[in-house]
Chains A and B, each alone.
Chain A
Amino acid sequence: MPRPMTVTEKILASHAGMDEVRPGQLINCRLDLVLANDVTAPIAIKEFRKVGVESVWDPERIALVPDHYTPNKDIKSAEQAKMVREFAREQHITHYYEVGCMGVEHALLPEQGVVVPGDVVIGADSHTCTYGALGAFATGVGSTDAAVGMATGEAWFKVPTSLKFEVTGELGPWVSAKDIILHIIGMIGVDGALYQAMEFTGDTIERLDMDGRMTICNMAIEAGGKSGIIAYDDVTAAYVTGRAEREWTVFSSDGDAEYVRTYSLDASSIKPTVAFPHLPSNTRLAEESRDITVDQVVIGSCTNGRLEDLRVAAGILKGRHVHPHVRAIVIPATQKVWTDAMHEGLFDIFVDAGAAVSTPTCGPCLGGHMGILASGERAVATTNRNFVGRMGDPTSEVYLASPAIAAATAVAGHIALPDDLD
């Protein structure tokens, strides 16, 4: 019998061709998917050329998603996107997403069934950890790791130790998955899970839909985590059925698996949370942050740009108007989210409220385009990072929050809860 293992250890062992692995062990894993975007793929392509192979290991297992600066924001970014496009054509990459079918990568790939439960995925983007929501091991790497992954279909890993976050109980009004993960990052810090796998369990997590689960796993990296993971269950099954383009494998943690630490959280004690500049761990309660006035609100990104996020925001903006001093920008994360939101009438609500609706892009989340902040300006954003200069000028400020808090803030002109509104 192999030793008791966590879901992360089991996935890694299966992809390393081993019966068991232990934390700290250095292993070589077979990859199911390698991802890169318009910022990271150009360097990956240059490095790929140096490996000494003519073709990628499998053109169906590489995803190239130009999403950061697309539709191209300037000539230089157009050149980068062109390089990715030409490489995709040359290598017959099946999962290349041009503007028009492109979406924010970590919303797009699960939605399109490209990532499936039990996968090992590396992506040249730090938020690749999002796919842990599907019960996959997924981690961000740099361009060179992606290049070698594209060439060989393999990558080396140090088997991480695991942290367990057991969240139980009912969430209070206006408390969402975003508040859970901001609360956790505030509790353990931006390196509180450094090099570790964060496993989220408990009845509160089990009741979350897939959009919420992705929000949580998406921000594992903001605690320094190597990966975030939520075990496969009925919610996962319902999500991937009819969507997954490959067969999947179900892994789950053994009851006596080893965790370096278990955190037990009472969901009813978590309140709407805002991360103040300039770290995602700098959290405060939204109800104690009403003195923060804002110039811009961004609702979107790989963290909170999915349909359920837009529904929550629309529910608050319906019949109300964005504060005259605020620019509100809504960015559906994918074309499917975009069309679903349009057909549900959400765009009418956003536009009637005075918000701008954008085509899918990472855009302002990383200070790329579509909503850059001037000196001294403040934004509340449903995104994932609030580092110095993240959304524009180095003196600007980003406050991270849920779609509900962001929408209420857009109306109030300062950080607000939905119940504050008339």
Chain B
Amino acid sequence: MRFEGIAHRYGRDVDTDVIIPARYLNTSDPDELAAHCMEDLDQDFVKKVQPGDILVAEENFGCGSSREHAPIAIKASGVSVVIAKSFARIFYRNAINTGLPIMEAPDAVDGISSGDRVAVDADTGIITDLSTGTSWQAQPFPDFIRDIIEKGGLVAAAREKVGK
């Protein structure tokens, strides 16, 4: 899988309350959630994000609440992949389970600027900043998690297990 889009870069500890504020959690509709994605961090995000764009952030992305609405909102907003220095653990699980591609790549985060055009090869883990020509290698997923991703997420893996 290959993604290409404009990078939107944020800092560390981007929490799930700013990704999707609780005042919108009275719904689980992806499009409604996407309309408010990142609202309390960057009010213009939903205006500028284009399908395929890439979220770039520093350490501890997705900290706080367990709300799966956060990866759902990011995915439905058009973001193709999130690259961060590290992810909070519940967000990490939720992203894998809901099919939002994520990559841990500290060097890439340091090298990418907002507005750069970035290409990501999710199969090889190679991230390329097309605006600067620099490439980095993201940390690979453990085989166990890659297996869940390849089966199409946790529910698909469970469906296989229960024999349906």
Within 8 A of A (CB), among B8-30: 13, 15, 17-18, 21-23, 25-28
Task: Known A-B contacts: A156-B144, A394-B21. Give 4 more (CB < 8 A).
Answer: A43-B72, A52-B163, A145-B94, A195-B89
The answer to the question of A176 belonging to the interface, with a C-beta cut-off of 8 Å to chain B, is no
Asked whether, in the complex, the Cβ of B90 is within 8 Å of the Cβ of A126, the reply is: yes
Residue in B13, B26, B162 whose beta carbon sits within 8 Å of that of A191 in the complex: B13
Asked whether, in the complex, the Cβ of A194 is within 8 Å of the Cβ of B67, the reply is: no
Q: CA–CA, A156 to B144, complex, Å?
A: 10
Asked whether, in the complex, the Cβ of A152 is within 8 Å of the Cβ of B97, the reply is: no
Q: CA–CA, A51 to B152, complex, Å?
A: 12
Scan B87-104; emit 1 where CB is below 8 A from any A CB, else 0: 011100110011000000
Q: CA–CA, A69 to B23, complex, Å?
A: 10
Residue in A51, A69, A144, A226 whose beta carbon sits within 8 Å of that of B89 in the complex: A226
Most chain A CB within 10 A, of B17, B59, B86, B164, is at: B17
Number of interface residues of B (CB under 8 A): 44
Q: CA–CA, A143 to B98, complex, Å?
A: 10
Which chain A residues border B25 with CB–CB below 8 Å? Answer: 39, 68-69, 366, 368
Q: CA–CA, A388 to B88, complex, Å?
A: 17
Which chain B residues border A194 with CB–CB below 8 Å? Answer: 60, 86, 88-89
Residue in B27, B41, B63, B162 whose beta carbon sits within 8 Å of that of A190 in the complex: B63
The answer to the question of B161 belonging to the interface, with a C-beta cut-off of 8 Å to chain A, is yes
Pick the 7 closest A-B CB pairs, nearest first.
Answer: A52-B164, A142-B94, A76-B26, A144-B97, A142-B68, A191-B60, A389-B40
Number of residue pairs A-B, CB distance < 8 angstroms: 144
Residue in A80, A143, A279, A366 whose beta carbon sits within 8 Å of that of B68 in the complex: A143
Using CB atoms and an 8 Å cutoff, list the residues of chain A in contact with chain B.
26, 39-40, 42-43, 46-47, 50-53, 68-69, 73-74, 76-77, 80, 123-126, 128, 140-145, 147-148, 151-152, 156, 158, 190-191, 194-195, 221, 224, 226, 279, 366-368, 385, 387-390, 394
Which chain B residues border A123 with CB–CB below 8 Å? Answer: 66
Given known contacts A142-B98, A194-B89, A51 and B144 CB-to-CB distance under 8 angstroms: no
Q: CA–CA, A68 to B65, complex, Å?
A: 12
Of all chain B residues, the one with the shortest Cβ separation from A50 is B155
The answer to the question of B69 belonging to the interface, with a C-beta cut-off of 8 Å to chain A, is yes
Q: CA–CA, A389 to B142, complex, Å?
A: 35
Asked whether, in the complex, the Cβ of B67 is within 8 Å of the Cβ of A39, the reply is: yes
Which chain B residues border A69 with CB–CB below 8 Å? Answer: 25-26
Residue in A40, A128, A152, A367 whose beta carbon sits within 8 Å of that of B21 in the complex: A367
* 15 chain-A/chain-B pairs, Cβ below 8 angstroms: A39-B67, A42-B28, A51-B158, A51-B164, A52-B164, A80-B26, A80-B28, A128-B66, A140-B66, A141-B93, A142-B90, A147-B155, A148-B154, A158-B142, A389-B40
Q: Write the nearest CB–CB distance from A229 to chain B, whole angstroms.
A: 16
Residue in B41, B65, B68 whose beta carbon sits within 8 Å of that of A388 in the complex: B41
Q: CA–CA, A43 to B26, complex, Å?
A: 11
Of all chain B residues, the one with the shortest Cβ separation from A77 is B26
Q: CA–CA, A274 to B59, complex, Å?
A: 24
Q: CA–CA, A46 to B155, complex, Å?
A: 11
Q: CA–CA, A224 to B13, complex, Å?
A: 10
Asked whether, in the complex, the Cβ of B65 is within 8 Å of the Cβ of A126, the reply is: yes
Which chain A residues border B27 with CB–CB below 8 Å? Answer: 76, 80
Which chain B residues border A390 with CB–CB below 8 Å? Answer: 17, 22
